[in-house]
Amino acid sequence: MLLIGFFVLITGLIVGFAGLAIYALATGRLAGIKLVIVVGIVIFAIGGALYKVLKHRPQPHGASITREEQPELWRMIDELAVMANTRGPDEVRLVPEVNAAVWEDSKLLGLRPGRRYMEIGLPLLAGLTTSELRAVLGHELGHYSHGHTKYAAVTYRASATMAHTVNELDGPIGWLMRLYMKLYFLVARSANRAQELQADALAVRAAGKSAARSALGKIPALDVAWAHYNRSYVGLVGQAGRTPDLLLGFNSYLTNDKRREDLAALQGEMLDAEPASKYDSHPPIRVRIATIDKMTEPDQQADNRPSWTVLRHPEDTVPRLEGQLLTRDFGPRASWQEIVQLAGAAIDKNNAEALVKLATVSGVTRTGSLDEVLTAIDQGKAVALASPALDEDMHPHDKQKAAVEVLTQLVSDTISLALISSQRAAYELDWSGPMRLRLAGGELLDVSEVVEPAVADPTRMPALREWLARMNVDTGQPSPKWNYDPSAR
């Protein structure tokens, strides 16, 4: 009713202003022209908003999961739909987000049923148990059961039209519209929160209180974990030129002992610190969990299998589904260990080339060989050497510190590349942290721990050179009779 009231209010204002404008023009008053301009601005704002919003139609995305390929997953969804006393989805899709959702492409302002869609986030299949997945899907089907999706498309478009219209209007009319919109969202969000609690009741019926509670608590931390996994691991695939196993990799990430401990702590912190606002569309998770605890529904025996085990032949179907989620083809499929090895070597190669360019562009060295770079650092020219990569306006103390950081990274990666190229070292996967360089003899090696002291304090350069000699790292030959000329830059 508030949505209808918004357009009634707009229409009333337009008709009222139009009447005043006609009257003012008929009486020959200058104010009539101003009123005509105001009415024109309002009509233009509303028309533009309606055109932009109403022409947009939601489109399904992600990888389609068919009944033939995944009968067990579909059986679970069909069973939950019967439990919710509702028509299930016509399409199920796998999406690359920590989320599950349902929506309906209804017709005639929601009066005519449309095609129903369910989206299941790939990270949920890696991070939830089978019982927790049942709870999540039961919750989503609860939205169908209570008719929450029937008018969702219309409500979304009308709300977007309202917001766009308000942004286009200034002055007293804009103030009045913003006040009305604030009232609308206050009421609408309250209704949204009530809908979430209704859907939670179906989650409890689907899987029991324990599973519904644990699924709610896990999802915010899973969202953070998925973002970190993408930055720290999936971000390597472009360098490696290989296609990873996204789901199995994320499952390995989550089941790593350190990650499991970190996420458990994060989960508690996020629930305690979760903000609450009367304009939120979802109640705080702690409120939802407390509401679940008060339900009289008996608990159920938990199915603690990883939820991805409901997929049939995951070794075949999951790579195909993941291939549809990736934005581009990264190359042949490979294990995460191979991806880390290739990516680590590629990053070292890029940084070794960057060191050569930095050393030659700065004018401090002739060829940019490792030997020349170390000699320049030994002569106290670290800042001059790194200067092309530094901000000229930095304080001298900050510039010195930044130069040490830049050169430590580039020199360390240049040495690592030499060890990798001679097959005396290789990077290895570590789900608990950054990739690690391991020597062929089995020893872990942090090259920066050896390099940084010499870069920061040139008096320790002989120790670094002695270590390089023991490691048989070829530093290249220095150019004869080469002296740094600052004016040459």
Long-range contacts of 267-273 (CB under 8 A, 24+ apart): 267/217, 267/218, 267/220, 267/221, 270/220, 270/221, 270/224, 271/217, 271/220
Closest CA to 386 of 397, 376, 371: 376
Give residue 215's pLDDT.
95
% of the chain surpassing 70 pLDDT: 74
Q: How far is CA 149 from CA 59, 60, 64, 146, 159, in A?
A: 15, 15, 20, 8, 15
The span from the CA of 31 to the CA of 355, in Å, is 71
The pLDDT value given to residue 489: 40
In the block, residue with structure tokens 């389609």 = 64
- Whole-prediction pTM value? 0.79
Question: Do the strands 425-428 and 100-107 form a parallel or antiparallel pair, or are they unpaired?
Answer: unpaired
58 contacts 153 by C-beta, under 8 angstroms: yes
At 446, list the tokens: 């942090």
Q: What is the pLDDT of residue 59?
A: 73
| Residues of the chain where predicted confidence (pLDDT) is lower than 50 | 2, 109-110, 148-149, 151, 481-489
Residue 482, pLDDT score: 45
Q: Output the six-digit token pair for 120.
A: 């299941």
CA–CA gap between residue 34 and residue 92 (Å, rounded): 54
Are 358 and 389 spatial neighbours (Cβ–Cβ below 8 Å)? yes
Amino acid identity for residue 340 in this structure: V
- pLDDT tens, position by position, 362-400: 999 999 999 999 999 999 999 999 999 998 888 888 999
Contact 84, 325 (CB under 8 A): no
Give residues with Cβ within 8 angstroms of 486, minimum separation 6.
Answer: 363, 384
